[in-house]
Amino acid sequence: MSNIKVGIIGLGRLGKVHAGNLAFRVPNCELYAACSMVEAELEYAKKELGVTKTYANYDEMVKDPELDAIFIVSPSGLHCEQIQKAMENGKHVFSEKPIGLDVAEIEKTMAVIDAHPEQIFMLGFMRRYDADYQYAKEMVEKGELGELTVVRCYGIDPSDGMESFVKFAGASNSGGLFADMSIHDIDLVRWFTNQEVKKVWALGKNAAYKQLDEVGELETGAAMLQMADKTMGILVAGRNCHHGYHVETELIGTKGMLRIAQVPEKNLVTIMNEHGVVRPTSQNFPERFSQAFVNETAEFINCIKEKRQPGVNANDGLQSTKVAIACQKSYEEDELVSLSDIK
Amino acid sequence: MSNIKVGIIGLGRLGKVHAGNLAFRVPNCELYAACSMVEAELEYAKKELGVTKTYANYDEMVKDPELDAIFIVSPSGLHCEQIQKAMENGKHVFSEKPIGLDVAEIEKTMAVIDAHPEQIFMLGFMRRYDADYQYAKEMVEKGELGELTVVRCYGIDPSDGMESFVKFAGASNSGGLFADMSIHDIDLVRWFTNQEVKKVWALGKNAAYKQLDEVGELETGAAMLQMADKTMGILVAGRNCHHGYHVETELIGTKGMLRIAQVPEKNLVTIMNEHGVVRPTSQNFPERFSQAFVNETAEFINCIKEKRQPGVNANDGLQSTKVAIACQKSYEEDELVSLSDIK
Amino acid sequence: MSNIKVGIIGLGRLGKVHAGNLAFRVPNCELYAACSMVEAELEYAKKELGVTKTYANYDEMVKDPELDAIFIVSPSGLHCEQIQKAMENGKHVFSEKPIGLDVAEIEKTMAVIDAHPEQIFMLGFMRRYDADYQYAKEMVEKGELGELTVVRCYGIDPSDGMESFVKFAGASNSGGLFADMSIHDIDLVRWFTNQEVKKVWALGKNAAYKQLDEVGELETGAAMLQMADKTMGILVAGRNCHHGYHVETELIGTKGMLRIAQVPEKNLVTIMNEHGVVRPTSQNFPERFSQAFVNETAEFINCIKEKRQPGVNANDGLQSTKVAIACQKSYEEDELVSLSDIK
Amino acid sequence: MSNIKVGIIGLGRLGKVHAGNLAFRVPNCELYAACSMVEAELEYAKKELGVTKTYANYDEMVKDPELDAIFIVSPSGLHCEQIQKAMENGKHVFSEKPIGLDVAEIEKTMAVIDAHPEQIFMLGFMRRYDADYQYAKEMVEKGELGELTVVRCYGIDPSDGMESFVKFAGASNSGGLFADMSIHDIDLVRWFTNQEVKKVWALGKNAAYKQLDEVGELETGAAMLQMADKTMGILVAGRNCHHGYHVETELIGTKGMLRIAQVPEKNLVTIMNEHGVVRPTSQNFPERFSQAFVNETAEFINCIKEKRQPGVNANDGLQSTKVAIACQKSYEEDELVSLSDIK
């Protein structure tokens, strides 16, 4: 069987990570085309990634009969429409998270996806494909932690992006801290517990950058999630981590506790100097999840070749977005929000 | 100046810890008397601790003119009354936490305490006197973490007490998980942030011992606290920790994060064997806070000698109990509870 | 430029690791041929790795005009002869360590290599290509540790191979513990210090398997190395590690200390259960150095394409083997051995 | 039985630690007298420690009939003579390590000690009384590590004392790095293995302070010890540790490995900031071994009261000093040294 030919839309920071993986690190596929409105990005795709074709227009790329699959790494607000178009043109689709920002639009997109069951659809919750998370999931499935009672997830971005975020906070529409930062963690809570969220309470505080209050954005937030079976979810999200990129997940079960990246160790090195005993830290998501991005794309290609749907589907996108919306609403209204009220 | 003469009421597990410290490890004091309704405990006090007098009746001990101070380590429900009697008899008073279980009763007790400003009153929040907590507090005060945004506290008892707890859960009145287990953590959140709690939401789940549902007790619980200045508090409490006694505190600030006992290391030993790389763990509170108990008692004695009130006062007892009551109410009603509604 | 065509000799445990990397994980190369005397291994190469040609005879493969490079993963005693033949047939050569077991034979091989300066020769000291070791090397080069005074290296194999080792210890010729296990560590000491070894003292003890005394093999050994500039090297080698595969390196400098894999953490997971706080461990070299093997092979291919010699050359092989021989001699004679006495 | 009355000789840095413990932290004893040639130290003893008598002359103190025991914390060169005098005057004796600097003098002192078997003699190897070391020793005794094959000990002083050491290096007679710094570690190797040292090789390097070469002192040294049963001892000693006071001990056995203070954690606090994940470190021996000093003195007092000799005796002093002398000789001559050659 020949290589799967993939066309990518979006060549920003994360787009370049995916494009590089498709071009060089994932077997059985070929990065055949790239689409961007930025000329320099198309030049990059041709010269550095060796793509055969470039497109400035997504509607054209999506009709290219040579392409087997479309890889969507565009701004979040475009995902739904682009997924639909790709599906309707018979392509397999990988979309970065979130699947969308609006519940009704996501539900419409899901209907389109459901109407093409023979095409693969996969959503980019890459943490599920990180070796550490898979190790943890396997321990949970084998019952080594007993029944889960608490899942705690931290997702805190490095502070070196703070100045820029504050500057553009009013203009951009991040969807708020919980949609922007916690969406992976919400997916993890659902994945580890096999439960849906029932009710949430979310809080937030701007301390270093109080001006964020004015534009409705948050520096640091926390949310508590009540799952359908009473399991407790705890989220902390932030944009102001001075030691790097802090993604940590904890599982408390009736037989034991497990933590993934309790501290964000960069490598196996320990340094002892005038600061004390120091473990260097991961600095950003491409570093931390480098191999997870390769693994998820390999899984997408394998699903196409083996004609089976992946573990992460459109409903995972819908549910995680609904929870993020509920958290944002809870923060804004300072009230408990039931998921049944998110339409 | 001569040694401070102390009479202790209560010689259970924690009572024996305090009595031993007063008798052998705290300078400038003498464990002069002990009171208990259990004859064997009074025997123990005479033989092992060398007390001069024993009492079966608290009202008598509290009138002993030889005594400078009363040390209360009795069941929680008796604290208020015993504090009042000791105060009214001119004694300095150390009381174990909680100061009481009922807000009105605590307020009445505070009035009595306030009426005797020349007598020392101290409440047993010993964690404030643990060297690790003091190291952390000092860093906060020096501004090394910036402004605090999140304080997370875990207090989980070892599972070896679980069978016994389940057996007696119906009969005893623990006050619920949050009053019983989180009270120290609530005090820590207040101490580190210098803020009062405004609103809480508390959840709970019985998984290993579902029969606790029937008696209104909890195996594991979590609460989120909104502080007056928007700082976020996160509590996890439990009774079913298989690796020992897990007391962990995290401070997230705008300049850094700090964790006390991120994992409950028993000592400086690391073992590598067929289980992996293993750090042995603290097994119970007398082990973990052994020196903190000595330190707090030394502080109590020093306060008496130096005629100054300690850092932990009756209001700390009132506020922490109110928050614990709010958490319990929130869990029972599955609603947000404002502290202003706790009378 | 087209892909580099590689022929591999040896498809044992490590041979399969290299073959898989050449076939699937290293860009710009093709695993074109495989040579083995084991029919099943050639079948494996055809079916699983997709090689175009298989050989039962090395002399034939080495003459295949299609091949650009030969990858030698055969028993140590054959390396020298196979390197020479490949060089003399105009091939680039990658050889697993050690370059050879006999100093005179290695020197003869080096002469052949030197006679073909346009062909790439690389020796498989893959640890130099591990990200953690490269991070450490960079810190040393930047002077962040000051001047090195002590380098300590542990290399201890998992005990699950012990039974089999003891069984075949008499028959096989491992070259002794230091040649077999410490050769990588000897290379690391030379690499980090940029110094040659001057004198050694080596000790050993058989405790769990005292029968190894009879066949002159060792369960656990230690050596101290005096470098030309007085820097001290400390080696511990063993075959009986119950917690997995323990490869640890420490650098002590005048400004700080650095440890690579102070404990052999398998991943970022921490488990807390009845054993204590547990970090799972690496179990074997293919797991621990999985990516280092890919990196070194990518470097070999890049060197061919870019017509430059790699950082690890034949002299590194000669020197490390000489030190290993000196250690073995020192252990056997219980005397200090000067490297100048190893011919 | 009344309190043991103790007279202390030497009130320098370590002397003040011991004096404070005798005065305030060890039960059943009284710091009755102090002897020093420094007037200010005697003032300190009277005012801060509350001693009854002070002496400028050791020969007088040692004859004080009120004293039960003498505590020797004077310069190393005086220990032997002072021990003998105290013994001959019927006193129990605690002496700081080393017991002496000269083998013949130590042997003479041992004869005096042996002639007074009813008097307690104890040597200050306090690490044996540290809770972490006792935990490790217990595991060894229970066989949990199997048979020991390697014991590695690091003893590295903080670099903040380096300037002063270099300044006075020529004048003082430290006995050399191994006598000065490794003596505790030598004792630990003997204690953990229950074996005597047979042969040693010691190396050293001055890198940051090369001027130490001129006065025959060392900044950093390492030694390898061959024990009678072939167990291997590895020592690293130094005076230039930038992260604090690094005392670390490792036990490798046939069933597992154990490390005490793998990194010199100061407390249970972990900080995450711009430096990475940081564990603060112990800064000096009084901090690290604070409680061990109390414990060993309590053991000394208990031995007196219970009329039994302690675990650390004069022969431990003799053997450890002989090994330190052998290491120094080995370093100076760059040869293996057999302990049988140390007279």
Question: How does DSSP assign B262-328, residue by residue?
Answer: SS-B-SSEEEEETTEEEE-B--SHHHHTHHHHHHHHHHHHHHHHHT---SS-HHHHHHHHHHHHHHH
Tokens 């398998």, residue located: C266
On whether any CB of chain D is under 8 Å from the CB of B171, the answer is no
Average pLDDT rounded to a whole number, residues D270-289: 97
Neighbours of D (≥3 Cβ pairs closer than 8 A)?
A, B, C
Contacts 24+ apart (CB under 8 A), B281-284: B281/B243, B281/B244, B281/B245, B281/B246, B281/C272, B281/C276, B281/C277, B282/B244, B282/B245, B282/B247, B283/B158, B283/B244, B283/B245, B284/B158, B284/B244, B284/B245
pLDDT(B121) > 70:
yes
Nearest CA of chain B to the CA of C166: how many Å? Answer: 20
pLDDT higher for A171 or D98?
Answer: D98
Q: Is B273 on the interface with C (CB under 8 A)?
A: yes
Q: What's the pLDDT tens digit per position in C173-200?
A: 678 999 999 999 999 999 999 999 999 9
Strands C197-205 and C337-338: antiparallel
Q: Which amino acid is at C285?
A: F
Residue keyed to tokens 């009421």 = B9
Closest CA to B178 of B330, B33, B39: B330
Tally Cβ neighbours within 10 Å of residue D226.
Answer: 23
Q: Is C255 near chain A, with CB under 8 Å?
A: yes
Q: Dump the DSSP string for C286-341.
A: HHHTHHHHHHHHHHHHHHHHHT---SS-HHHHHHHHHHHHHHHHHHHHTS-EEGGG
Q: Give, in order, the Cα–Cα distances in Å from D76 to each of A336, C236, D81, D215.
A: 71, 34, 10, 20
- For residue A272, the chain C residues in CB contact (below 8 A) are 256-259
CB D269 to CB B136 under 8 A?
Answer: yes
Determine whether the interchain pair D135/B267 forms a contact, defined as Cβ–Cβ distance below 8 Å. yes
Interatomic CA distance for residues D135 and D315, integer angstroms: 24
What confidence score (pLDDT) does residue C1 get? 53
Edge to edge, what strands does the sheet with D29-35 contain? D53-55, D29-35, D4-9, D69-72, D92-95, D121-123
Distance CA A144, CA A129 (A): 20
Which SS3 state, helix, strand or coil, does residue A252 take?
A: strand
Is the model's pLDDT at B1 over the cut of 60? no
Give A96→chain C minimum CA distance, Å.
25
**Region label for C272, one of left (φ > 0), alpha (ψ between -120 and 50) or beta (otherwise):** beta
Residues 6+ apart with CB under 8 A from B107: B318
Tokens encoding D70: 């003498």
pLDDT on residue D170: 74
Q: How far is D249 from chain B (nearest CA, A)?
A: 10
Mean pLDDT on D71-84: 96
Tell me how far apart the alpha carbons of residues B342 and B186 are, in angstroms, rounded to a whole number.
15
Q: State the Cα torsion D138-D142-D145-D151 to the nearest 10°.
A: 50
Beta bridge partners of residue D95, listed in sequence order = D72, D123
The beta-strand segments (E) located in chain C are 4-9, 29-35, 53-55, 69-72, 92-95, 121-123, 148-158, 197-205, 220-227, 232-241, 246-253, 257-260, 269-273, 276-279, 337-338
Entry field: residues in chain C? 343
B24 contacts in D (CB within 8 Å)?
27
State the nearest Cα–Cα gap between B281 and chain C, in angstroms. Answer: 6
* Cβ count within 10 A of residue B340: 10
CA distance B109 to chain D (A): 36
pLDDT at A172: 66
Q: In this complex, do D273 and B260 lie within 8 Å of one another by their Cβ atoms?
A: no
Q: CA A187 to CA A11: how far, in whole Å?
A: 25
- For chain C, list the contacting chains (3+ Cβ pairs, <8 Å): A, B, D
Residue C46 CB contacts under 8 Å (≥ 6 apart), including other chains: C54
Interchain pair A243, D277: CB under 8 A: yes
Write out the CATH class of domain C128-288+320-341. alpha beta
- Burial class of C1 by CB neighbour count within 10 A (0 to 12, 13 to 18, 19+): exposed
Tokens of B84: 């009042």
| Residue B115 φ then ψ, to 5° | -75, -10
Q: Which residue has the tokens 């003998």?
A: D84
d(C-alpha D143, C-alpha C328), whole Å:
30
Residue in A150, A236, A336 nearest the CB of B201: A336
Which region, left, alpha or beta, applies to residue C108 given φ > 0 means left and ψ of -120 to 50 means alpha?
Answer: alpha
Phi-psi category of C28—alpha, beta or left, where left has phi over 0 and alpha has psi -120 to 50?
left
> Chain B within 8 Å of C259 (Cβ-Cβ)?
no
Flag if C273 and B243 touch (Cβ within 8 Å).
Answer: yes
Q: What is the pLDDT of residue C250?
A: 98
Does B243 touch chain A if contact means CB atoms closer than 8 Å? yes
Closest chain C residue by Cα to residue B240:
C273
Helix (H, G, I), strand (E, B) or coil at D227: strand
Task: Yes or no: say if B289 and B98 are a contact pair by the CB < 8 Å rule.
Answer: no
Cα–Cα distance measured from residue A247 to residue A232, given in angstroms and rounded to the nearest whole number: 19
The answer to whether B281 faces chain C, any CB pair under 8 Å, is: yes
Mean of all residue pLDDT scores within chain A: 96
Nearest CB to C236; choose among D150, D205, D246: D150
Q: Which of residues 128-147 of C touch D (CB under 8 A)?
A: 146-147
**What is the C-alpha separation between A32 and A69, in angstroms, rounded?**
10
pLDDT for position D27 = 85
String of DSSP letters for D78-109 = GHHHHHHHHHHTT-EEEEPSPS-S-HHHHHHH
* Chain C residue nearest residue D209, CA to CA: C254
Whether the per-residue pLDDT at B172 is higher than 70: the answer is: no
Could you give the residue range(s) of every CATH 3.30.360.10 domain in chain C? 128-288+320-341
| A54-89 pLDDT tens trace | 999 999 999 999 999 999 999 999 999 999 999 999
Residues of chain B within CATH 3.40.50.720 domain(s) are 4-119
CB-based contact B132 D269, cutoff 8 Å: yes
Residue C152 CB partners (closer than 8 Å, separation 6+): C233, C234, C235, C236, C248, C249, C250, C252, D236
B37 touches chain A (CB under 8 A): no
Residues of D in contact with B273 (CB under 8 A): 144, 255-257
> How many Cβ atoms from other residues are within 10 Å of residue A59's Cβ?
11
Query: Does residue C256 sit at the A interface (CB-CB below 8 Å)?
Result: yes
Percent of chain C with pLDDT over 90: 92
How confident is the model over C220-261, as pLDDT tens digits? Answer: 999 999 999 999 999 999 999 999 999 999 999 999 999 999
Q: pLDDT per residue over A194-220, tens digit each?
A: 999 999 999 999 999 999 999 889 999
CB of A179 within 8 A of CB of A325?
Answer: yes
Written as one string, the DSSP assignment of B221-276 is EEEEEEETTS-EEEEEEEEEETTS-EEEEEEEESS-EEEESSS-B-SSEEEEETTE
| C-beta separation of C263 from B278 below 8 A | no
Of C24, C27, C256, the CB nearest to A271: C256
User: Which helix (H) or strand (E) is B178 found in, with range?
Assistant: helix B177-181
H helix count then E strand count, chain A = 12, 15
Residues of A in contact with C136 (CB under 8 A): 269
- Which tokens go with C64? 């295949």
Q: Which residues are CB-neighbours of D8 under 8 A, at least 6 positions away?
A: D15, D18, D19, D22, D31, D33, D34, D35, D45, D70, D71, D73
State how far the Cα of D116 lies from the Cα of D120, in Å rounded to an integer: 8
pLDDT band per the 50, 70, 90 thresholds, residue B2:
confident
Nearest to residue B6, comparing CAs of B50, B38, B41? B50
A280 touches chain D (CB under 8 A): yes
Q: How far is A193 from chain C (nearest CA, A)?
A: 18
Which of A98, A187, A205 has the alpha carbon at shortest distance from A151? Answer: A187
Q: Is residue A308 less than 8 Å (CB to CB) from chain B?
A: no
Superfamily of domain B128-289+320-341: Dihydrodipicolinate Reductase; domain 2 (3.30.360.10)
For residue C85, what pLDDT band results from cuts at 50, 70 and 90? very high
Chain D residues touching residue B272 (CB < 8 angstroms): 256-259
- What is the C-alpha separation between B276 and C259, in angstroms, rounded? 19
Nearest CA in chain D to C263: D262
Residue written as tokens 């009697």? Answer: B85
Prediction ipTM score: 0.96
Q: Of B232, B252, B230, nearest to A242 (Cα)? A: B252
Instruction: Sort strands D197-205 and D220-227 into parallel, antiparallel or unpaired.
Output: antiparallel
List the structure tokens of C159.
Answer: 């005990």
- pLDDT tens-digit readout, B288-335: 999 999 999 999 999 999 999 999 999 999 999 999 999 999 999 999
One-character DSSP codes across B80-140: HHHHHHHHHTT-EEEEPSPS-S-HHHHHHHHHHHHT-TTS-EEE--GGGGSHHHHHHHHHH
How open is the CA angle B341-B323-B12, to the nearest 5 degrees?
135
Give start-end residues of each CATH 3.30.360.10 domain in chain B. 128-289+320-341
Contact B26, B3 (CB under 8 A): no
Identify the band that residue A169 occupies on the pLDDT scale cut at 50, 70 and 90. confident
Task: Tell me if residue C236 falls in helix, strand or coil.
Answer: strand
Neighbours of chain A (3+ CB pairs under 8 A): B, C, D
Q: Does A201 touch chain B (CB under 8 A)?
A: yes
The answer to whether B322 and B342 have CB atoms below 8 angstroms apart is yes
A194: contact with C, CB 8 A cutoff:
no
Indicate the burial class of B78 (C-beta count within 10 angstroms; 0-12, 13-18, 19 or more). Answer: middle
Cβ contact B243–C280 (<8 Å): no
Which residues numbered 2-21 in B keep a CB inside 8 Å of some CB on D?
A: none
**Tens-digit pLDDT profile for residues C1-60:** 589 999 999 999 999 999 999 998 898 999 999 999 999 999 999 999 999 999 999 999
D259 touches chain B (CB under 8 A): yes
With bands split at pLDDT 50, 70 and 90, how would you rate the model's confidence at A170?
Answer: confident
Q: Which of C243, C270, C280 sits opposite B273 (nearest CB)?
A: C243
Q: And the tokens for B232?
A: 């976020």
Superfamily of domain B4-119, CATH level 4: NAD(P)-binding Rossmann-like Domain (3.40.50.720)
